[in-house]
Structure 1
């Protein structure tokens, strides 16, 4: 996987988690369940991006090409 793609994916995931948390806080301050729900969905999407990226990196690091078996 391209190194720039990994960096951008990590930044996007972190941004979505932080932004989702901020929206959840704004939804609580505004007493709006819909706004808080959108923040929760956004934060979960960011977590999914980060977890998939970590799992992909972990599985690709353990495999070797051309083992000859």
Structure 2
């Protein structure tokens, strides 16, 4: 017997997703001005934030863990 899997609905509105996307883009630009480039290994964290899967407070601990920063 096959089970139907219901697709997961986004936890946030499309408007909130766009607001978060702009926040991440702005942070990337700010870092670029300082000569920093985003690490591709951290992209899933940014994507999870934009999708509403995690909150802003959860981003830095996850990024630091990926980069091995305390």
TM-score tier (shorter): 0.3 to 0.5
TM-score, normalised to structure 2, is 0.38
TM-score, normalised to structure 1, is 0.39
Report which of the two structures shows the higher radius of gyration computed on alpha carbons. Answer: 1
Give 1 or 2: higher helix fraction: 1
